[in-house]
């Protein structure tokens, strides 16, 4: 490959691709990108990095003939830009190939994998290494509040990478995480997801089994013992993991919520210490446990671990408070899998007690728009005080007999004794919800997309209602 100066990314607004684009820009390359259905925060993030972003796929975006094109996994062979790259014989790489070539070379990779919790666990690990003074690089599919970024080049020897099981590219259908050679691997658990890629749970388990086989002799594996499917995978592998979870090598005890803080006792080999964190819930403590085990492997002191966990501020779009109006809190979260929805509601409820939790959900992923979890979703909402289900704004070509029914979900939630409402669009939801809210309510909005900017629109509407009541009182 000739000397690389100008790099173009196709599908640049994906979290991984957008992060890579910004890293390459910071390293001194000329970077452009293209995408469609662009929405914050990644579009804002790219703009802040002065990366030119084309809001459509078009061969004209390649008119300046980049030295290299990086093609995202959402791009098909029929994409007009991808077709132009192939026809013009422009050099191209997948995202993980580019990470290995430009970012992770000569680094000790700490790879975070699993169906749930990858982003938060990777963020905690990156923050912990930073607090320890190890100046890590990191590449994470979310924006860390402590750094206002999802990446750092880093001059230290460690590189934290969030590695998912999704396919790599149209020219490489293997999972992304298979491209990395990790020094430490964290597996947070395995469940069925990504129905557009995987046929069933066994298919998902097979790719994680491939990863375990690949790293068995070279990586320290830290695995969640509370994941039955992950335990099934490990039972068939010749590997001796470090386990974390309810009866693992690393566990926690005596979780207490006070004043929007969580306190608990971390217990590990030759370790027993209290931590305090601003993050709520069992699932976040499990993420902390994984990182505590990794820190122990790296020889990081417990004092540093405690400092890092107390100072970690979280990630945008993960239990992210977008605003408080009239005593009503509006929170944004990425949860979309039934397990993640249930865990998120369960986590925030004690933090906002005695207020109500109003769960607002947009089922818009490739999996949630299909019937796979039709019968599983209702139970995920039982901890909420009221539920609003909105038809997704995006449309996908899914056969009728495979399509998820939001209306049936609402009916099933009501049958479980929880008040639930269906809305065909965001406007209808915004016409209904604000007047039903009272001070101390938490509105937990869950979607993996922009959701028509519902968070700000809801806060603005609450403010208008409050202003109207004030004016009436005058």
The 3-state secondary structure of 368-392 reads CCEHHHCCCHHHHCCCCCEEEEECC
Q: Which CATH class is domain 6-95?
A: alpha beta
121-125, 221-225, 240-244, 345-349: range with lowest mean pLDDT: 345-349
Mean pLDDT of 88-97: 96
Peptide bond into 41 cis (omega under 30): yes
Looking at residue 449, its pLDDT comes to: 82
CB 139 within 8 A of CB 162: yes
Residue 425, CA distances (Å) to 23, 381, 391, 431, 462 in order: 37, 20, 6, 10, 19
Q: Which of 99-108, 196-205, 454-463 has the lowest mean pLDDT?
A: 196-205
SS3 194: coil
- Residue 345 φ/ψ, nearest 5 degrees: -60, -45
The alpha-carbon radius of gyration of the chain (Å, integer) is 22
pLDDT (tens digit per residue) in 44-55: 888 889 999 998
**Which of 184, 176, 164 has its CA nearest to residue 111?**
184
Q: How many CB atoms lie within 10 A of CB 44?
A: 12
* The two structure tokens encoding residue 366: 């490739």
Average pLDDT over residues 314-332: 91
Reported as a single tens digit per residue, the pLDDT across 287-321 is 999 999 999 999 999 999 999 999 999 888 888 99
- What is the CATH T-level fold of the domain 320-473, as seen in this structure? 3.90.190
Residue 169: its H or E element? strand 167-169
More confident residue, 37 or 347: 347
- Give the pLDDT mean for 227-247: 93
**Contact in structure between 453 and 393 (CB atoms under 8 Å):** no
**Contact (Cβ atoms closer than 8 angstroms) between residue 208 and residue 113:** yes
Task: Indicate the CATH number for domain 104-311.
Answer: 3.40.1190.10
| Tokens 């919790």 belong to residue | 117
Helix ranges restricted to H, 254-405 = 282-297, 302-311, 338-348, 377-380
pLDDT at 403: 86
Under 8 Å between Cβ of 25 and 31:
yes
- The pLDDT value given to residue 319: 84
Q: How many whole angstroms separate alpha carbon 262 and alpha carbon 327?
A: 22
Q: CATH 3.40.1190.10 region(s) of the chain? A: 104-311
Q: Considering the entire predicted model, what is its pTM?
A: 0.85
Band of pLDDT at residue 473, cut at 50, 70 and 90: very low
Measured in degrees and rounded to the nearest 5, phi and psi for residue 317 equal 75, 10
Q: How far apart are the first and last CA of the chain?
A: 72
- Tell me what the pLDDT averaged over the chain comes to: 91
The pLDDT assigned to 471 comes to: 46
- Evaluate whether 111 touches 96 at the Cβ level (below 8 Å): no
């Amino acid at each position: 490959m000739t000397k690389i100066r100008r790099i173009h990314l196709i599908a640049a607004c994906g979290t991984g691709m957008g992060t890579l684009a910004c890293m390459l820009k910071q390293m001194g390359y000329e970077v452009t990108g293209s995408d469609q259905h662009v929405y914050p925060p990644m579009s804002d993030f790219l703009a802040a990095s002065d990366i030119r972003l084309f809001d459509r796929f078009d061969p004209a975006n390649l008119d300046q003939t980049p030295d290299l094109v990086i093609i995202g996994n959402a791009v098909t062979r029929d994409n007009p830009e991808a077709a132009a790259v192939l026809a013009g014989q422009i050099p191209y790489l997948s995202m993980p190939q580019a990470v290995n070539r430009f970012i992770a070379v000569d680094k000790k990779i700490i790879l975070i994998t699993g169906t749930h919790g990858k982003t938060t666990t990777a963020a905690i690990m990156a923050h912990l290494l930073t607090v320890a003074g190890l100046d890590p690089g990191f590449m994470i599919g979310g924006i860390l509040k402590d750094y206002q970024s999802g990446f750092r080049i880093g001059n230290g020897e460690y590189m934290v990478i969030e590695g998912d099981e999704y396919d790599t590219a149209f020219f490489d259908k293997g999972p992304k995480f298979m491209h990395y050679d990790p020094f430490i691997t964290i597996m947070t658990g395995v469940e069925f997801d990504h129905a557009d890629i995987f046929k069933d749970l066994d298919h998902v388990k097979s790719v994680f089994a491939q990863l375990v086989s690949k790293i068995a002799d070279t990586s320290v594996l830290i695995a969640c013992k509370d994941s039955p499917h992950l335990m099934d995978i490990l039972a068939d592998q010749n590997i001796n993991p470090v386990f974390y979870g309810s009866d693992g090598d690393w566990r926690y005890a005596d979780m207490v919520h006070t004043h929007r803080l969580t306190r608990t006792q971390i217990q590990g080999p030759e370790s027993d210490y209290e931590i305090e964190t601003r993050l709520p819930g069992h699932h976040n403590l499990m993420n902390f446990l994984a990182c505590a085990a990794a820190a122990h492997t790296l020889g990081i002191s417990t004092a540093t671990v405690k400092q890092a966990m107390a100072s970690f501020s979280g990630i945008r779009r993960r239990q992210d408070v977008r605003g408080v109006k009239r005593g009503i809190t509006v929170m944004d979260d990425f949860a979309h899998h039934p397990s993640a929805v249930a865990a998120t509601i369960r986590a925030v409820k004690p933090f906002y007690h005695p207020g109500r939790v109003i769960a607002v959900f947009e089922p818009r992923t490739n999996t949630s728009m299909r019937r796979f979890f039709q019968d599983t979703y209702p139970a995920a909402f039982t901890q909420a005080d009221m539920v609003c289900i909105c038809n997704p704004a995006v449309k996908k070509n899914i056969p009728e007999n495979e399509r998820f029914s939001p209306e049936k979900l609402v009916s099933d939630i009501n049958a479980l004794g929880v008040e639930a409402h269906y809305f065909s669009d965001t406007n209808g939801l915004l016409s209904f919800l604000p007047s039903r809210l009272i001070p101390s309510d938490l509105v937990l909005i869950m979607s993996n997309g922009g959701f028509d900017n519902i968070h700000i629109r809801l806060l603005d509407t609450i403010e208008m209602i409050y202003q109207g009541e004030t004016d009436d009182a005058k």
